[in-house]
Amino acid sequence: MKKLLLSLVTCTALVSPALAEPLALEKDELTFGFIKLTDMAPLAVAYEQGYFLEEGLFVTLEAQANWKVLLDGVIDGKLDGAHMLAGQPLAATIGYGTEAHIVTPFSMDLNGNGITVSNQIWEMMKGNIPTDADGKPQHPISAAALKPVVETFKSEGKPFNMGMVFPVSTHNYELRYWLAAGGLNPGYYSPENITGQIGADVLLSVTPPPQMPATMEAGTIYGYCVGEPWNQAAVFKGIGVPVITDYELWKNNPEKVFGLTAEFTEQNPNTTIAITKALIRAAMWLDENDNANRMEAVNILAKPEYVGADAEVIANSMTGTFEYEKGDKREVPDFNVFFRYNATYPFYSDAVWYLTQMRRWGQIAEAKPDSWYDEVAKSVYKPEIYLQAAKLLVEEGLANEADFPWDSDGYKAPTPAEDVIDHIPYDAKAPNAYLESLPIGLKGNQTVVGTEIKG
């Protein structure tokens, strides 16, 4: 089989643009993990389009049961790398949960998530939401519309439960951000209490992505934050209504990353560059010609070995639209972004935002200086590897030089107020000032002691 694959690589090379001297790979047989979400697309495309093979890589892609199993697989070497929650390499590196030095040379996408509530909750919220000229709900929808519903539950002695996919997931932080922006406290963590429910108005708990719709339908949770296709699945099943996308929450926010151990990248530097090259090409293919390849990508993702959801459900968001209330389909061309806006570049500023949210809710128990955020970001996010890969692609005629931020210091320009639902700007170079600006969350030297905020 390996000889056959090598011959395929040779044939492909003959018809490719002027390829540079191939990298001397330290390891060419690799296994990568992923969770069944549409944002694993760069891995599936790199495999199906032959980009891994063209780099001399013989890759096996394996779906994982949940995010913890996936992370453990990378740490113990069963997996060489994986589609990861952006918070996972950061949390592992600082020792929150399983401790290991995980790095990323590649960000997998921007946006791609949504927050969905059950039909029951939607009916209770609707009266609190302004409508447009056509009588449809005005977007973005603030969690302020949910607050009276939560207060009703509280007055009746009922907990208000919502789901997210993992304690250090974008989904946890996005759901918390949305709730807090609407005046609801999503709860705190402490070293002694890792439920994240200390002082909470809304109780958040972990549910694996594919199980979200069924868990909500069963009444165990009243809503959730998840990636696609599991928001649109609720619409198709007629059991829930997505109220906001993360694009509306924070325009072009970072989402997943491709994670490897620092040890792997140190022992296999050329292999790491080759992996990154293939993934960049896949991301370019996904976004090129105004998303012209998206339906082909949908058909790839619909295969049972990848996402395994109906193509129609996946297409609802992957092709530039998003359906909220049944029949209320709106244009959201940037719901999934894989390459444009420098989506694949691993910006330090993205890492810093995740770290601020860990600190905001008590996962980082004590205050840290601004310099600490910068140091951790630089130990995990590796734009230098990314740019090495990009440089080779440009030299080979496979990418355009203008598509990469060669002169970046690793930090994006500050996010302006109008791009965030609570109109609070974000400057990654001033993380503590940013934390001070957020109305709900730990600030300064505050800590969580028992059920109280001290300091």
Closest CA to 280 of 360, 186, 388: 388
Question: Before 89, cis peptide (omega within 30)?
Answer: no
Same domain for 261 and 391? yes
Same domain for 195 and 87? no
Q: For residue 434, is it within any domain?
A: no
Helix (H) or strand (E) holding 235: helix 232-237
Q: For residue 180, is it within any domain?
A: yes
Same domain for 79 and 146? no
| Cα 167 → chain centroid | 13
Q: For residue 118, is it within any domain?
A: yes
CA distance 212 to 220: 10
Using the structure block, give the residue that is written with the tokens 């949770």.
221
CA distance 41 to 306: 9
pTM tops 0.75: yes
**Domain total of the chain:** 2
Whether the CA torsion 194, 421, 337, 121 is positive or negative: it is positive
Q: Which residue type, as a one-letter code, is found at position 220?
A: T
Same domain for 57 and 125? no
Closest CA to 67 of 79, 56, 52: 79
Quick check: 294 and 318 in contact, CB under 8 A? yes
pLDDT score for 434:
98
Bridge partners of 453, per DSSP, are 448
Residue where a domain stops, chosen among 205, 234, 253: 253
What residues contact residue 277 under an 8 Å CB cut-off, 6+ apart?
51, 55, 389, 392, 393
Mean pLDDT of successive 10-residue segments in the chain (455 residues)? Answer: 41 46 94 96 98 98 96 98 98 96 98 98 97 93 98 98 97 98 98 97 94 97 96 96 97 97 98 98 97 98 96 93 93 95 98 98 98 98 98 98 98 97 98 98 97 94
Alpha-carbon separation of residue 340 from 155, 169, 274, 322, 406 (angstroms): 47, 23, 21, 19, 15
What residues contact residue 375 under an 8 Å CB cut-off, 6+ apart?
none
Q: For residue 245, is it within any domain?
A: yes
Same domain for 168 and 106? no
CA distance 326 to 121: 15
Residue where a domain stops, chosen among 360, 384, 403: 403
Helix (H) or strand (E) holding 12: helix 2-15
Closest CA to 359 of 182, 197, 189, 200: 189
Residue where a domain stops, chosen among 218, 253, 288: 253
Same domain for 137 and 222? yes
Q: In a 3-state reduction of DSSP, which class is residue 443?
A: coil
**Alpha helices per DSSP H over 59-135:** 67-75, 87-94, 119-126
pLDDT score for 3:
38
Strands (E), 196-289: 203-206, 223-227, 240-245, 257-261
Same domain for 266 and 237? no
pLDDT score for 6:
44
Same domain for 21 and 132? no
Q: For residue 81, is it within any domain?
A: yes
Q: What is the DSSP string of 151-209?
A: HHHHHTT---EEEES-TTSHHHHHHHHHHHHTT----B--SS-TTS-BT-SSEEEE--G
Closest CA to 298 of 17, 9, 41: 41
* Residue 143 DSSP code: G
CA distance 307 to 228: 10
Closest CA to 57 of 33, 80, 88: 80
Q: What is the DSSP string of 298-326?
A: HHHHTSTTTT-S-HHHHHHHHTSEEE-ST
Same domain for 82 and 142? no
Which domain covers residue 291, as residue numbers? 2-111+255-403
Bridge partners of 415, per DSSP, are 426
Q: For residue 453, is it within any domain?
A: no
Q: For residue 318, is it within any domain?
A: yes
Same domain for 136 and 103? no
Whether the CA torsion 70, 34, 316, 112 is positive or negative: it is positive
pLDDT score for 21:
74
Residues in the chain: 455
Same domain for 156 and 287? no
Q: For residue 147, is it within any domain?
A: yes
Same domain for 286 and 369? yes
CATH number, domain of 52, equals: 3.40.190.10
